[in-house]
Structure 1
Amino acid sequence: MAAEQALPIPPAPAEKALRRERTQRWLLMLGALLLLAAGIGMRGPTPSDEPRFALVAHQMVASGNWLIPHRGADWYSDKPPTFMAMQALSYTLTGQWWVAFLLPSLLCSLGTLWLVYDLGRRLWGHRAGLWAGLGLLFTVQFLFQAKRGQIDPTVTFFVTLANYGLLRHFLLGPDWRAFWLGCFAAGLGVITKGVGVLAFLMFLPWLFARQQGWKQLPSIKGHAVHWLGGGVAFVAAIALWLVPLLLYVHAHDSETARDYVHDIFFNQTVNRYVHPWNSFQPPWFYLEVIITSWLPLTLALPGLLPAWRQQVRERDARFLLPMAWVVLLILFFSLTRAKRDVYIMPALPLLALCAGPFLDTILQRRWAQWTAIGFLLLLALPALGLGAHSLLFHSAFATRFAAARQLGDQAASIWWMFVVAGAWLLLCVLVFRARRAGMALLAGLAGFWLLWSLWGAPLLAKASSPAGLVQRVEQTIGPDAELALVAWKEELPLAFERKVTDFGFVTPWHRQLSDAIVWQEKDPTHRWVLILADVMAPCVDRDASIDMGVTSGRDWRLYRLDAIAPACRGGNVPEGKVEDWGGIDSRR
């Protein structure tokens, strides 16, 4: 069995085999493009993270300042500007925000997939690379995040590119250009989310394997200047952002600028790791993520674990280096109390890489075939049953589900999607059966994700969007009025075509309301404020305000200055707490 013997370096294929490999390679990428790109342009940003990044990118384009990201009136210091600048650049190229906010995730996910395939091909041959790519492509976390306008697919690409360069150098080298590229990519990962430096954890298993004389390690002899070049490349990538930032802050020195530098370099990195303030999870949290979010790849673990153990016993460094890095990354993020599933997403490509040489063999075993079929049935039968039951009997659960997501008369459509998805998965099981369980799995999941991308996600996004709220506000205030937001959500400024005024996002609500009152007093007739209803008391008379309805579970009110209590005029608003924002987390 392939899992029970050392895997040789793949021989050079013949010309006919090369053509077949080339065809399969491009079919993989074309299929990935169709699957990952499905649904782009059919929905806008949806909470919680997408509207924030899209708003920052929108303000970059509007202001021309791509160096200092802003969220409303505030400097946005949670993340470096790289990802938002990529979204802004995508808009300048496409002219469509509904395309631009998802385009970086799409391109980076395709890039990550290509890197995994290519590295697998170089290490073990074309089929190993192909299966590694397929294993990654159909993993729940990879597919779901590739279709989101969030930062993590971009970070995963840069970290994977860094690992790609390091592994080509350590395992297939010496290849100093690949090494320098990997170091440069690690720097790009730093200026995207800060975690790119973790790619250098790859040095630890490499040094260990070299010390112990493991197989498949080339002799790498280079002058100190070669190794120093990696450090230069790493620093150069960071300098692309850091140098202009420091020059800007020096030229525009202020308390705001100093607070921004301190927050982004210290509070959002070291302090957030050592003393986190949200997303608390138990130490075993990432085991749950691996078992669930890395499906269906994790279904192969009963076959993969013995195979990997065999390769480690045979001292094959091609497995030690990437697998040890996966373990080190997961361990690093397990040591802090704050944990989110996407933190370990950069480990997923290398896990798929190490699975590639064995997936084909594993899927020929009966237990794996029945496991794959059982997984599809576990998806198909509940989806089919839930959809049919909700359509036929209008259960209390279906009513609550539709009401919470403001589906209204579109509720039946989402249940029909469940019915169709369940029927498709069941059809794949019946057509391919256990003997071709791999094909059943690929076809079933591809159809499911296409249905979700083209039907489910746009429907839910449309139903929960603030478009209805915006329309009601516009009809009430008219085209000549001015509008400001207090205790606002990030999707609101994106939804208005007009310019809206805000008084900060992380600013405590009582200060926002105070500034809004002063702003309104300058033109009481034409200036309106849209406010979260939870934060009106004691200054805004509810009866004198106008109900704008509920959007995303939040009650919004519209008012002019005449709704302000006399005691609060002049911006004299009693102090409150951030918790009084009605659940808005100011430090997300």
Structure 2
Amino acid sequence: MLLTAPDETQVIAREPWIPRRAAVCLLICFCLTWFYTLGARTLVPSDEGRYAEIAREMAATGDFLTPHLNGIKYFGKPPLQAWATALVFSVFGLGEWQARLWTGLCGLAGIAMVYLAGSRLYGKGTGVTAALVLGSSFFWAGAAHVASYDMGLSAMLTCALCAMLIAQRPAASPRARRNWMLGYWAAMALAVLTKGLAGVVLPGMVLVLYTLVSRDWRTWRRLHIAPGLALFLAIAAPWFVLVSLANPEFPAFFFIREHVGRFTSDVHSREAPWHYFLPLLIVGITPWFGVLAQSLRHGVRVRAAGFDPGRFLVVWAVAIFVFFSLSNAKLPAYILPMFPALALLVARYLDSASPRATIVAAAPVALLGAAALVVLWFAPAWIDNAPASTPVRRGQVYWITGAAVLLALGGAAAAWLARRARTWALTVLAAAGFLAGQALMLGHESLGRDKAGVAYLAAIRSEITPQTPIYAVGQYEYALPFYLGRTLTMVHRAEDAMLLDLERRPHLWIARLDTFVATWEAQRARGIKAIAFVRPDIHADLQRRGVPMRVIGQDARRVIVTNDVTAQRP
């Protein structure tokens, strides 16, 4: 039997939240940790290096209309994040935290919006719980510390859909409803400028499906479509018009290949089975996975008169999950926009349930941490027998152990506090989840540095001048161009999104390896030093050919060589 809640704005009587002074101290500690970890890791290829380099080139050239990667037109994504990051670079200089500042702020914006939505719909306590849930969820907090476009899209969608929730609540005045709905249209426009048509398709899909499920057709009369659409076009349309006029090839590439092709085919080699996102959902919502199913069921069962925010949240979460599960192209961050809805559902359930629900949330986290510690007890023996990369793996174990300890102790403490001080129990569980997630992110640094190749920066800088030609042979280096502040000449292979411009301007790359070898040897003969990042198998082939090369750096991903073979190091 379905339960009903005539007025969802009614707040269930709960104990007061933690004291204001303690809450302020915790908020300050949270923000300090949040912003510190933005710059605590190397930019990891490919996404972080790619998007940081696009913004660097935008800031360096002053061309804010046509994004470029490695000096080549890049039409894979709209420019909002590149604009913001380029401005940050112009003010604060280049660096890791600068490259991630936009995504970090977007993550905080999403947390703030679920707090506002939860507070307006269910009361301040639920708003705080929703913010705790989202801010501590592994996936949301982790994605906010990665310089990728997925967090920007998710934050804008969160602002849009939370604005709709606030606008459509029965207690909203006509003026408040209009203003929040205009915010909905503006946020959708920013989502489109962040990652294209997904910014309007996803919230539109949620609205249509909610209408069909709830049969609440009156919502459409409260959308303020005419002024909203005008605002949407005023924000989103100008760049698309101007970039299309300046680059006639843009519309077909961006709208057909990057949108229709991405969803309907495996054009980007990202195919995965339909259940690909199920384990990612469980990991992503940690430390709240213990009450995920109950929260979804509660959102469906407890109904409200008129506009039903609980049902809207369930449709929001489920529709995005199913939509991307049906897509041929799958990446972990595609389901990120569903986590704000889950945070609100979890908060709504926990704040309407008995303390036992908090125990159900905390106990599995404690067990997960304890199980991880048992596994890690045997990890040194496994690492000692590992054939390669032992230092990297051992370095990671310490961070994973720290995360496991946080989860075990935090989960146990939250379960113990659940019947004594429920609000402190939720706070402790959120703190444990947030800190454990950040520890795991920091533990990835050793692998990130290896993948980015930053250990070779000093050796490379000692060999080059601003005029030194630098080549990427067989693969593009996504992080090193940003750290060097240089573009590369690509040889033999280029990223798919660059091919459109390269086909029109073939002088920007060297298509054939034989042509590169001839250029390399000619430069050496004229006394022009050159550097090349070479794919290991191609380096072996060049060695067999007798091509003059001096190795200045080498690992499993790349061999860094110079044609100045006379300047051998002692």
| TM-score normalised per structure 2 | 0.82
Letter matched to residue 547 of structure 1: V
Going from structure 1 to structure 2, the CA distance change for 1:13 and 1:442 (only over 3 Å counts) comes to closer
| Match 1:285 to one of 269, 276, 283 | 276
User: Could you tell me which of 532, 536, 557 is aligned with 2:535?
Assistant: 532
**Contact 1:55 1:71 (8 Å CA) reproduced:** yes
Match of 1:275 among 265, 272, 280: 265
Moved more, 351-360 or 95-104: 351-360
Counterpart selection for 1:201 from 196, 200, 205: 205
Residue 192 (1) aligns with residue 194 (2): yes
List runs of 5+ in structure 1 lacking aligned partners.
250-256, 564-588
The yes-or-no answer on 1:415 pairing with 2:418 is: no
In the TM superposition, residue 440 of structure 1 has moved relative to its aligned partner by 4.7
Task: Answer yes or no: is the 8 Å Cα contact 1:187–1:196 preserved in 2.
Answer: yes
Match of 1:505 among 487, 494, 506: 494
SS of structure 2 residue aligned to 1:345: helix
Verify the 8 A CA contact 1:533 1:556 in the aligned structure 2: yes
Task: Say if 2:161 and 2:184, in contact at 8 Å, map to a contact too.
Answer: yes
Alpha-carbon contact 1:384-1:419 (below 8 Å) kept? no
**Which residue is 1:489 aligned to?**
477
From 521, 545, 551, the equivalent of 1:547 is: 551
Equivalent of 2:60 in 54, 57, 62: 62
Choose from 125, 128, 132 the match for 1:127: 125
Distance in structure 2 (CA, Å) of the matches to 1:230 and 1:492 = 43
Q: Distance in 2 between matches of 1:305 and 1:50?
A: 34
Percent sequence identity over matched residues? 22
**Partner of 1:253 in structure 2?**
none
Change (3 A) 1:478 1:347: closer
Equivalent residue number for residue 285 of structure 2 = 294
Greater Cα offset, 110-119 or 310-319: 310-319
Q: What pairs with 1:91-240 in structure 2 (closer than 5 Å)?
A: 91-171=89-169, 172=172, 174=174, 175-194=177-196, 195-197=198-200, 198-205=202-209, 207-208=211-212, 211=215, 226-240=224-238
Contact 1:82 1:192 in 2 (8 A): yes
Distance in 2 (CA, whole Å) between partners of 1:241 and 1:219 is 29
Mapped partners of 1:219, 1:149: distance in 2: 36
Distance 2:147 2:329 in 1: 22
Give the residue type in structure 2 aligned to 1:534.
Answer: D
* Larger mean Cα displacement after TM superposition, 141-150 or 23-32: 23-32
Cα gap change, 1:517/1:97 in structure 2, threshold over 3 Å: closer, same or farther? same
Counterpart residue number, 1:6:
5
**2: distance between equivalents of 1:12 and 1:282?**
42
Aligned with 2:347 (options 356, 363, 370): 356
| Post-superposition offset of 1:350 | 1.6
Counterpart residue identity of residue 137, structure 2:
T
Instruction: Please identify, of 153-162 and 328-337, the stretch whose mean Cα deviation from structure 2 is larger.
Output: 328-337
Paired residue secondary structure (2:458) = helix
Q: Aligned partners of 1:514 and 1:229: how far apart in 2?
A: 60
Higher alpha-carbon deviation: 322-331 or 494-503: 494-503
Partners in 2 of 1:511 and 1:219 — Cα distance? 54
Q: TM-score, normalised by structure 1?
A: 0.79
| Aligned-partner SS, 1:228 | helix
Q: Distance in 2 between matches of 1:93 and 1:472?
A: 29
Q: Which residue of 2 aligns with 1:451?
A: 439
The 1:440/1:550 distance shift into structure 2, 3 A limit, reads same
Q: Deviations over 1:347-401 (max 9, x none)?
A: 21122223322123447116x5155223223224424652x5445785324x645
1:556 corresponds to which of 541, 555, 559: 559
Contiguous gaps of at least 5 residues in structure 2: 419-424, 503-508
Identify the range of structure 1 (507-516 vs 521-530) with the bigger mean alpha-carbon deviation: 507-516
Per the TM alignment, residue 117 of structure 1 is displaced from its structure 2 partner at its CA by 0.7
Moved more, 158-167 or 370-379: 370-379
- SS of 2:37 mapped into structure 1: coil
* Partner residue in 2 for 1:266: 256
Question: Partners in 2 of 1:534 and 1:505 — Cα distance?
Answer: 17
Specify the alignment match of 1:441 in structure 2: 429
Instruction: Output one character per residue of 1:404-440: Cα deviation in whole Å (capped at 9) or x when no partner.
Output: xxx3xxx654333334433444444565554436455
Which aligned pairs between 1:311-390 and structure 2 lie closer than 5 A?
Answer: 311-312=302-303, 317-362=308-353, 364-365=355-356, 369=359, 372-383=362-373, 385-386=375-376, 388-390=377-379
2: distance between equivalents of 1:391 and 1:424?
A: 20
149 and 7 in structure 1: CA distance in 2 versus 1, 3 angstrom threshold:
farther
The equivalent position to 1:49 in structure 2, one of 37, 47, 50, is 47
Does structure 2 retain, via aligned residues, the 8 Å contact 1:373–1:440?
A: no
How far the C-alpha of 1:301 sits from its partner, in A, is: 2.7
Q: 1:184 to 1:361 in 2, by over 3 A?
A: closer
Q: CA deviation at 1:258?
A: 3.6
**How far did residue 292 of structure 1 move?**
2.9
Quick check: 2:137–2:287 contact (8 Å CA) kept in 1? Answer: yes
Distance in 2 (CA, whole Å) between partners of 1:280 and 1:483 is 34
Q: Conserved in 2, the CA contact under 8 Å of 1:152 and 1:342?
A: yes
| Paired letter, 1:352 | A
| Corresponding residue pairs, total | 534
Confirm or deny: 8 A CA contact 2:88 2:98 kept in the other structure: yes
What SS class does the counterpart of residue 258 from structure 2 fall into? helix
* Alpha-carbon distance between aligned partners in 1 of 2:408 and 2:101, rounded to the nearest angstrom: 32
Opposite residue 395 of structure 1, the aligned amino acid is D
